[in-house]
Structure 1
Amino acid sequence: MSARRGDHDPGSPSMAIDFTFTDEQQAYRDALRETFKREAGTSEQRETLTAGHTTHHSFELSKTLGAAGLLAPSIGDEFGGGGAGIVEEMILLEELMRRQAPIGAYPVSLIVAGATQKFGTQEQQELVLGNIAAGGVEAIAMSEPEAGSDVAALSTSAEKVDGGWKLNGVKVWISNAHIADRILIVCRDTSSDGAKHEGLCMIWIDPKADGVRVDGIETINGHREVNYVYMDDVFAPDDALLGQAGNGWIQLMSGLNVERLIIGALGLGQAQLALDEGLSYAKERKQFGKPIGTFQVQQHRLVDIATEVELARLLIYKVAADVDRDPTALFPKEASMAKVWATETAERAVNAVFKLHGGYGYATEYPIARQVAHSMVATTFGGTNDIQRNIIAKVMGL
């Protein structure tokens, strides 16, 4: 699970793989664990940080991590990040989920960071990457009511006007739009008359600008996380365009594989959290005069979960190390596999531990109750797992 660079072809089945963290990576993970334990290690602390579980993101904790230099490890140190790689991001994402650290807006900010690092101007990078590294929030808006899995069918328009762009349209399921400093809108240049994959742009807007309305969507998570974003003649200046006009599809696709890896790492952390809770409960809960973990049926359930979690970890970090070795490669098959396996492992793990708790699984005093909804939706975020399987099949020549 190392990011050590080598000359091997990452797609070669004969390549040598180092399954150890470097000393620096181990120290980074230890620092994260210590900080999460100190700042958000108890249910009381987490309840306070989330205003009674009504929000998924604590700016207080996010800024604490930023000030300590623990946030945004893959962002360059010239922008306040760690100057490391994707392996370190996987460490952060796995740990924040496993430790239930309420900085839920960070993963989406990381997706915006990736696009900005690749296509942003110096000024855009200083503004956006610096904000993320310091604990700020950025959002990206792709999905629309009639363009979900088929992102290229989006209809939000961007008309070139004097000094900038005028945007109109509706976006949906936009994570963190209500708390973001900026929203990166994927839209269609009205001057383009090519195929649906042509003429796309990526343009930042201010959520508080005239003509923007952000409405929250109630979900079974119990807190506000996703939103509608309505745009009515919203003006964005020329310097709000990311990359090149009409190049939006290529820019978008260049980052989707890392997005899937990000979601996979979150799934890994959640699966590990479920396993931790299952082991703890199985050792403490007694029935028929002894801990339920002594019953073979429960032992086998937990062993199966532990095996699947370890497989997810190996896959996530292997693909992350491949990305660090060759940041220009897309790894569509491997990233999709990582997303599918890790999120479905999390779903199976949460479900098994929920059942292990019996009736207590319904009680919110047990953390497993809060995990159920999130484990289900993770298989949908970032492209449904059915779409991921289509991608894998296509790469396999099917």
Structure 2
Amino acid sequence: MSTTHALPRSLSSEQRAFVTALRDFARRECGTREQRDALAAEAGGPHAPSLYARLAELGWLGVCLPEAYGGSGGGMTDACLFLRETSRGLLPAGGFITSVITAKAYERFGSEAQCKAAIGGAVAGQVLSIAMSEPDAGSDVAALRCRAERTPDGGWLVNGHKTWISNAHLAEHILLVARTGASGAKHQGLTMFHVPAATPGIGIRPIETMGGHEVNDVFFTDLRLPADAVVGTADRAWTQLMAGLNAERLFLAANMLGLAERILDDTVAYVRGREQFGRPVGSFQALRHRLADLATEIECARLLVFDVAAACDAEPGKLFPREASMAKLKATETARHAALEGMQMMGGYGYATEYDMERHLRAAVVSTVYGGTSEIQRDIIGKSYGL
């Protein structure tokens, strides 16, 4: 059974060369378990600064960001190719997703100065973070209570607590969503703010998880921001957030597609080499059929992810809420299923830190929670049919 994963047929020669370069880089930089362990020891989580700096030097971190700020000007398909290959190659570049999601928000709504700082920084290898979730506002983001109030000089005073904020401890800039209006529906009166991470009044406390230090509590205590810190239009953050859903969900889907493919690769390699009862365990029909089903599900996820990416590239201004949610749902649930299947087929070795499978499981399981849970994605899809 070959685990050579297909590429979208519509790719240009430049895109195919990009994929080849990414795969070569991954094999060279973290193709062995020893290399991956060394990078993990440096990182303490899924982001290795030294490797991330090399990706920036190659110009790859700006793959879908505007040329005006140093990016390559590519589209959603290019970003999905990057995410798929870095995930499949196990490159510890965990800061990229939050950075590119945040940078795309600046691209749509930021001022020239904000874009130069945030997008230019992301291209150069800085990490960006977006602060939305709160202790009582997770799936129900519009229930957030972190508050920004006008000051006599026209600026803003921010107080509140954000939680589960990915990569805030690494970030140079934080895109904060805070409540600025008290009247009307809860979706009204929200505003985005550009916050340099060094601004006095920010406290960051790590939340230790199975994946290491990746998420944080972020406290804003009498944080003072200038009037021009508003990103886009005051009190209109909800509409602005909705405009970025295509990108966020699709990027997460592409990332988990790559992980699912890597899980399949690792599982196939194991069952080919592991012998019981005098023959490779992969030769038993029970495992062959499970792998066949898994490979089929992964291929379905691949087709969906890149079809949605192509649709977004064809109509950049259009929202695809149903399709983006379907891609996120399918890819993350497939990755979780793949990891559980891989662990089962590897038996006890699936739990051993000697192999990567236990890491894969930790990464896959949480993907069905962040960026909108699978339940939220199903609800969005269902509502799109008028239900």
Q: TM-score range by the shorter chain?
A: over 0.9
Instruction: Give the AA of the match of 1:189.
Output: T
Which residue number in structure 2 is paired with residue 286 of structure 1?
A: 275
Instruction: State the Cα deviation string for residues 47-68 of structure 1 (Å, max 9, x = none).
Output: 2223266221112111111111
Instruction: State the Cα deviation string for residues 109-156 of structure 1 (Å, max 9, x = none).
Output: 111011011001111111111111111100001110111111111111
Instruction: Give the AA of the match of 2:41.
Output: A
Aligned partner (choices 116, 140, 149) of residue 139 of structure 2: 149
SS in 1 for 2:159: strand
Which residue number in structure 2 is paired with residue 5 of structure 1?
A: none
Aligned partner (choices 303, 306, 309) of residue 317 of structure 1: 306
Which residue number in structure 2 is paired with residue 167 of structure 1?
A: 158
Matched, 1:296 2:285: yes
Deviates more, 1:331-340 or 1:206-215: 206-215
Q: CA deviation at 1:35?
A: 1.4
Q: CA deviation at 1:193?
A: 1.8
Q: Tell me the TM-score normalised to structure 2 length.
A: 0.95
* TM-align CA RMSD: 1.3
Which residue number in structure 1 is paired with residue 76 of structure 2?
A: 86
SS in 1 for 2:200: coil
Q: Measure the CA separation in 1 of the matches of 2:30 and 2:232.
A: 38
Contact 1:59/1:136, CA 8 A, preserved across alignment: no
Instruction: Give the AA of the match of 2:302.
Output: R
Q: CA deviation at 1:70?
A: 1.8
Q: Measure the CA separation in 1 of the matches of 2:121 and 2:300.
A: 35
Instruction: State the Cα deviation string for residues 220-273 of structure 1 (Å, max 9, x = none).
Output: 22x100000011110112232111111111111110222111111111011101
Which residue number in structure 2 is paired with residue 332 of structure 1?
A: 321
Matched, 1:179 2:170: yes
Q: CA deviation at 1:341?
A: 0.5
| Unmatched segments (≥5 aa) in structure 2 | 1-7
SS in 1 for 2:149: strand
Which residue number in structure 1 is paired with residue 120 of structure 2?
A: 130
SS in 2 for 1:139: strand
Instruction: Give the AA of the match of 1:305.
Output: L
Aligned partner (choices 257, 265, 279) of residue 276 of structure 1: 265
| Unmatched segments (≥5 aa) in structure 1 | 1-17
Matched, 1:206 2:196: yes
Q: Measure the CA separation in 2 of the matches of 1:205 and 1:366.
A: 40
Which residue number in structure 2 is paired with residue 243 of structure 1?
A: 232
Contact 2:260/2:298, CA 8 A, preserved across alignment: yes
Instruction: Give the AA of the match of 2:164.
Output: W
Deviates more, 1:357-366 or 1:207-216: 207-216
Q: Measure the CA separation in 1 of the matches of 2:66 and 2:288.
A: 45
Q: CA deviation at 1:293?
A: 0.9
Instruction: Give the AA of the match of 2:39.
Output: L
Q: Measure the CA separation in 2 of the matches of 1:306 and 1:273.
A: 11
Which residue number in structure 1 is paired with residue 3 of structure 2?
A: none
Q: Measure the CA separation in 2 of the matches of 1:164 and 1:183.
A: 17
Q: Measure the CA separation in 1 of the matches of 2:278 and 2:142.
A: 60
Q: Measure the CA separation in 1 of the matches of 2:300 and 2:108.
A: 31
Aligned partner (choices 323, 330, 333) of residue 344 of structure 1: 333
Instruction: Give the AA of the match of 1:86.
Output: M
Deviates more, 1:274-283 or 1:49-58: 49-58
Q: Measure the CA separation in 2 of the matches of 1:93 and 1:320.
A: 12
Q: Measure the CA separation in 1 of the matches of 2:355 and 2:232.
A: 46
SS in 1 for 2:209: coil
Contact 2:43/2:49, CA 8 A, preserved across alignment: no
Contact 1:264/1:342, CA 8 A, preserved across alignment: yes
Q: Measure the CA separation in 2 of the matches of 1:184 and 1:50.
A: 27
Q: CA deviation at 1:20?
A: 2.8
Instruction: State the Cα deviation string for residues 172-198 of structure 1 (Å, max 9, x = none).
Output: 1000001100111100114x4222111
Q: CA deviation at 1:24?
A: 1.2
Contact 1:174/1:227, CA 8 A, preserved across alignment: yes
Q: CA deviation at 1:99?
A: 0.6
Q: CA deviation at 1:163?
A: 4.5
Q: Measure the CA separation in 1 of the matches of 2:238 and 2:59.
A: 33
Q: Measure the CA separation in 1 of the matches of 2:121 and 2:37.
A: 26
Matched, 1:57 2:18: no
The size of the alignment, in residue pairs, is 379
- Assess, with a 3 A threshold, how the Cα gap between structure 1 residues 53 and 203 changes in structure 2: closer, same or farther: closer
Which residue number in structure 1 is paired with residue 12 of structure 2?
A: 22
Q: Measure the CA separation in 1 of the matches of 2:368 and 2:276.
A: 34
Q: Measure the CA separation in 2 of the matches of 1:34 and 1:119.
A: 36
